[in-house]
Amino acid sequence: MALPNVTPMELVQQKTPFDHPDWLFEIKYDGFRSLAYVDDGCKLISRNEFHYQRFKDLAASLVNDLAVSNVILDGEIVCLDDQGHPQFYDLMGNRGVAIFAVFETPESPPWAC
């Protein structure tokens, strides 16, 4: 099954904090926004359709670590310190281990297999 090209949801900035039961709130990781297309390998693609080729080890680990053979994941490529805090300059400088922090969804989308 070929995976469709999708456009990630745009980020929305709010002027003031709010709380609402219809919204999911997540930690803001400081990294590179990416879609991970896992299907006969893995491609990490930015929202501007840039291929993150320098993260080949991360892409390979996603293929090996997932329990599905084809899926599109929306998330952020980040480097974290020992306390789990994002380290953007480590990511920029290829220091540390890059991970893929997947954004949570309230339900599985129809194209997740």
For the chain, give every domain's residue range: 32-102
Question: For the chain, first and last CA: distance in Å?
Answer: 10
List, for residues 9-44, the tens digit of each pLDDT value. Answer: 777 778 888 888 887 777 778 899 999 999 989 999
Nearest to 80 by CA among 93, 58, 104, 98: 98
- Topology of domain 32-102, per CATH? D-amino Acid Aminotransferase; Chain A, domain 1 (3.30.470)
Q: Which candidate, 108, 112, 105, places its Cα nearest to that of 9?
A: 105
Question: Could you read off the pLDDT of 62-86 as tens digits, one per residue?
Answer: 999 988 888 999 999 999 999 989 9
How would you classify the pairing of strands 32-39 and 98-102?
unpaired
- CA 61 centroid distance within chain: 13
